[in-house]
């Protein structure tokens, strides 16, 4: 490829240039046609900042006619925030008259809508025919919107990949942590049988250990529910209890300068909802409130029973006529500026800075409340704090079950083969099962389990089998044991939830499932029920 020669038409032309082509520079009509038919915005701004020429494309691009804009100051059409940038450009070109600049400016069209224009700007003030700055602008508004959409998709993919990785990490760690909790709870419950008087130092200590172990177990489930998408599992809940439960964890990480106030309705209606998702709503609102009060303040929870009648529906048409509970979460923090109030529930919108927030917290809150047939609103004043109010349909159903530790044990008899790769789990299980009246055989892996079962197939009444085993997993162990004795009874154990385990052994071949960490009572009842 030959060397390209660059030249200035105002100076002497190179001798190699074909002067027959010079007509394009001498023919003003050609230049006029090029300018008037250009899709780009071509303008001249004189040294006083007055627009002295604008190309016809201005009408289509910005809505201004020639008369609307020529003779007006350039600052009349530049976005206020970009005026300093225009001043800097002019100042630079006056100091460097032979240079040119490329810059992006927000230009206001006739409807005062901002358009993103990328300009190439050249100083021709010393040229008497121009006597100003030549600006050639290309509209990049739509391009920037598409670029932002792509960025949002990339952030969404990044978040999804991050949450998937966190989900795998949390799930893996939780399995080990549940084993640890199983040992702590197991030995504590055995000691509780001896020191059952809660008024003694020993009784108080053991009760504290058990309650905090139970809280730790719930915290693990909450972490898992945040890290990965859980199946919708509605249960009967009381929001007063749920708020207290979540805050029992969060209060420990709150600064001492934040006061927490509970203003609960005494006879609050129950709701039917997914516990992990409702807990996530509370956690997200609490985190936002905490971040809004860096210098301290007051966080208030209020619950009420609400009847949505016809008069209320006229104001809030999205409500159905029904009984609801209303939950208010109020802080005395920095408040939400008016200019962003319409954006706070939008995905990826965050005021916490780059990498400090995903912008999905309030979006998730909105989605969960909406999916439960409820509605959420907020009111806020900058510098005066924020209150989020959400409404959920009430139910007449009562809460069943008891979340407190139950020490009523069900004893029995028979021989149990307990298979788990963790020695500490095997040891405490042996102590507990023997206390319940059973004979216990222990195996640390599949090979040992098969050997022991072969030798005692007519004695073993029940197998307790951990699903997640090294080398030979629980399902493979079960298949090998079944070859030895077809009518084998199996009770499965795992740190993973039933939803996380997709296995034929779980669906067809087991008598039940116990999730770690389990209480002494849960173990006794599961074993008793399997042997019935």
Contact present, 125 and 135 (Cβ < 8 Å): no
Per-residue b or e along 54-65, where b marks 16 or more CB atoms closer than 10 Å to that residue's CB = bbebbeebbebe
For the cut 90, the answer to whether the pLDDT of residue 240 exceeds it is: yes
Alpha helices in 228-274 (DSSP H): 239-250
Whether residue 246 is predicted with pLDDT greater than 60 in this model: the reply is yes
Q: Pick the more confident residue, 501 or 89.
A: 89
Question: Do residues 454 and 442 make contact, with C-beta atoms less than 8 angstroms apart?
Answer: no
Indicate the pLDDT class of residue 517, thresholds 50, 70 and 90: confident
Q: Give the model's pLDDT for residue 263.
A: 95
Give the pair of three-digit tokens for residue 198: 């809660």
Q: Report, at the CATH architecture level, how domain 415-531 is classified.
A: 3-Layer(aba) Sandwich (3.40)
> Tokens 């006597």 correspond to what residue?
131
Q: How confident is the model at residue 238 (pLDDT cuts 50, 70, 90)?
A: very high
Only one residue has tokens 């100083």, namely: 123
CA-derived radius of gyration, the chain: 36
Average pLDDT for 521-530: 87
Which residue from 492, 505, 436, 498 is spatially nearest to 464, judged by alpha carbons? 492
The answer on pLDDT for 296 being more than 90 is no
pLDDT, one tens digit per residue, over 99-143 is 888 999 999 998 889 999 999 998 887 777 777 888 999 999 999
DSSP character for 251?
Answer: G
CATH code for the part of the protein at 152-395: 3.30.565.10
Percent of the chain with pLDDT over 70: 77
5: pLDDT strictly greater than 50: no
Q: Indicate whether 72 pLDDT > 60.
A: yes
Per-residue pLDDT, averaged over 216-242, amounts to: 71
pLDDT digits (tens, 9 = 90+) for 368-413: 888 888 888 888 888 889 999 999 999 887 765 444 444 478 888 9
Residue 525 has pLDDT above 50, yes or no: yes
Highest mean pLDDT among 127-136, 143-152, 263-272, 286-295: 263-272
Find the mean pLDDT for residues 308-315: 62
Task: Read off the pLDDT of each residue in 477-502 and give the average, rounded to a whole number.
Answer: 79
Residues 6+ apart with CB under 8 A from 360: 159, 347, 348
What's the pLDDT at 451?
A: 94
3-state secondary structure of 474: helix
Question: Domain 19-139 falls in which CATH fold?
Answer: Beta-Lactamase (3.30.450)
pLDDT digits (tens, 9 = 90+) for 424-444: 889 999 999 999 999 999 999
Which residues lie below 8 Å from residue 300, measured CB to CB, with a gap of 6+?
A: 260, 261, 262, 263, 328, 329, 330, 331
More reliable by pLDDT, 239 or 247? 239
What is the average pLDDT score of the chain? 80
Domain boundaries, the chain: 19-139, 152-395, 415-531
Model pLDDT, residue 299: 93
């Amino acid at each position: 490829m030959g060397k390209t020669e660059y030249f200035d038409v105002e100076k002497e032309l190179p001798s190699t240039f074909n002067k027959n082509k010079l007509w394009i520079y001498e023919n003003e009509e050609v230049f006029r046609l090029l300018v008037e038919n250009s899709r780009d915005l071509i303008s001249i701004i004189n040294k006083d900042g007055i627009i002295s020429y604008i190309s016809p494309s201005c009408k289509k691009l910005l809505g201004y006619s020639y008369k609307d804009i020529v003779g007006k100051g350039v600052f009349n059409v530049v976005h206020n925030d970009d005026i300093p940038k225009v001043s800097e450009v002019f100042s630079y070109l006056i100091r460097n008259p032979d240079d040119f600049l490329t810059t992006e400016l927000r230009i206001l069209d006739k409807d005062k809508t901002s358009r993103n224009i990328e300009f190439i700007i050249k100083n021709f003030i010393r040229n008497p025919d121009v006597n100003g700055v030549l600006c050639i602008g290309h509209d990049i508004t739509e391009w920037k919107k598409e670029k932002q959409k792509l960025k949002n998709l990339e952030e969404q993919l990044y978040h999804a990949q991050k949450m998937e990785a966190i989900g795998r990490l949390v799930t893996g760690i939780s399995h080990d942590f549940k084993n640890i909790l199983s040992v702590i709870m197991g030995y504590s419950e055995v000691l509780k049988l001896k020191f059952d008087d809660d008024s003694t130092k020993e009784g108080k200590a053991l009760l504290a250990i058990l309650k905090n172990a139970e809280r730790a177990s719930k915290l693990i489930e909450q972490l898992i529910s945040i890290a990965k998408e859980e199946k919708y599992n509605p249960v009967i809940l009381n929001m007063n209890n749920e708020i207290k439960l979540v805050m029992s964890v969060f209060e420990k990480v709150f600064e001492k300068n934040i006061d927490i106030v509970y203003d609960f309705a005494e006879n609050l209606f129950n709701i039917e909802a997914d516990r992990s998702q409702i807990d996530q709503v509370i956690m997200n609102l609490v985190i936002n409130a905490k971040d809004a009060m860096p210098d301290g303040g007051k966080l208030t929870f209020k619950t009420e029973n609400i009847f949505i009648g016809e008069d209320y529906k006229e104001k809030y048409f999205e409500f159905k006529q029904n009984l609801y509970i209303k939950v208010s979460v109020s802080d005395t923090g920095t408040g939400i500026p008016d200019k962003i109030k319409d954006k706070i529930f939008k995905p990826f919108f965050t005021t916490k800075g780059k990498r400090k927030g995903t912008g999905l917290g309030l979006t998730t809150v909105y989605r969960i409340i909406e999916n439960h047939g409820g509605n959420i609103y907020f009111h806020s004043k900058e510098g005066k704090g924020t209150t989020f109010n959400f409404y959920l349909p009430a139910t007449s159903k009562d809460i069943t079950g008891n979340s407190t530790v139950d020490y009523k044990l069900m004893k029995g008899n028979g021989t149990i083969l307990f298979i788990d790769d963790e020695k500490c789990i095997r040891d405490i299980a042996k102590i507990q099962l023997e206390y319940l009246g059973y004979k216990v055989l222990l195996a640390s892996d599949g090979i040992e389990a098969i050997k022991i079962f072969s030798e005692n197939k007519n004695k073993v009444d029940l197998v307790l089998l951990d699903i997640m085993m090294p080398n030979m997993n629980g399902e493979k162990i079960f298949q090998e044991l079944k070859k030895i004795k077809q009518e084998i009874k199996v009770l499965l154990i795992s740190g993973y939830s039933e939803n996380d385990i997709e296995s034929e052994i779980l669906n067809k071949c087991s008598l039940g499932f116990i999730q770690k960490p389990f209480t002494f009572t849960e173990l006794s009842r599961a074993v008793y029920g399997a042997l019935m």
